[in-house]
Amino acid sequence: MTTAEERLRELGLSLPETATPVANYVPSARTGNLLFVAGQVPRKDDGSILAGKLGGDTGGDVGVDAAYQAARSCGLLALAAVKQALGDLEKVVRVVRVMGLVNAAPDFTQQPAVINGFSDLMVEVFGDRGRHARVAYGVGSLPGGAVVEVESLFEVRD
């Protein structure tokens, strides 16, 4: 059976460094067999936040495909936080829940298509263990103008 980290390598992906919190919170918090991962925003190579807004009829400066990739990068950041907390992605029993926030104009309605970037990555890495419950919201703004932010919850074991 292929491990999650082997699967990442097969996909040509590597885990980034975890972002240092800029406020009074931690990257993840564990209680019992649940690991809550703080909201992750996509970052450019230089560490700055990938900003932008999606728009329906009113326009916007980011398209759905680019935002999908941004949500996917949030998935890599979440997995990096999981590995930092647990030391091994194989301690993930399953991805339980995902909450995706999309920086969007009021008439934008394709939030699920954007957050699929995160969800698809979880299934690619974990197989059926990556299938999860999910919500996808459109919001008027996000920290640093981020195009997307994704919070996640994992069931884990020792």
How many domains does the structure of the chain reveal? 1
More confident residue, 23 or 149: 149
Q: What is the pLDDT of residue 22?
A: 81
Please check whether residue 60 is in contact with residue 105, taking contact to mean a CB–CB distance below 8 angstroms: yes
Q: Can you give the CATH number for the domain in which 111 is found?
A: 3.30.1330.40
- Rounded to two decimals, what is the model's pTM? 0.95
**Would 47 be classed as within a structural domain?**
yes
Q: What is the pLDDT of residues 65-105, one digit of tens each?
A: 999 999 999 999 999 999 999 999 999 999 999 999 999 99
Is residue 26 domain-resident?
no
Indicate the burial class of 143 (C-beta count within 10 angstroms; 0-12, 13-18, 19 or more).
middle
Residues 6+ apart with CB under 8 A from 60: 52, 53, 54, 104, 105, 108
- What mean pLDDT do residues 136-158 have? 97
Structural domain includes residue 149: yes
| 13 in any annotated domain | no
Query: pLDDT per residue over 35-65, tens digit each?
Result: 999 999 999 988 899 999 998 666 678 999 9
In a domain, 2, yes or no: no
Question: Which residue range is the domain that position 88 belongs to?
Answer: 35-156
Residue written as token pair 């240092």: 20
Question: Helix 111-126 and helix 64-86: axis angle, to 10°?
Answer: 40
Look at residue 19 and tell me if it is in a domain: no
Residue 30 lies in a domain: no
28 pLDDT exceeds 90?
A: yes
Pairing of strands 92-103, 133-139: parallel
Interval 102-130: pLDDT, tens? 999 999 999 999 999 999 999 999 999 99
The predicted structure's pLDDT at residue 19: 81
Tokens standing for residue 4: 């999650």
> What pLDDT does residue 58 have?
66
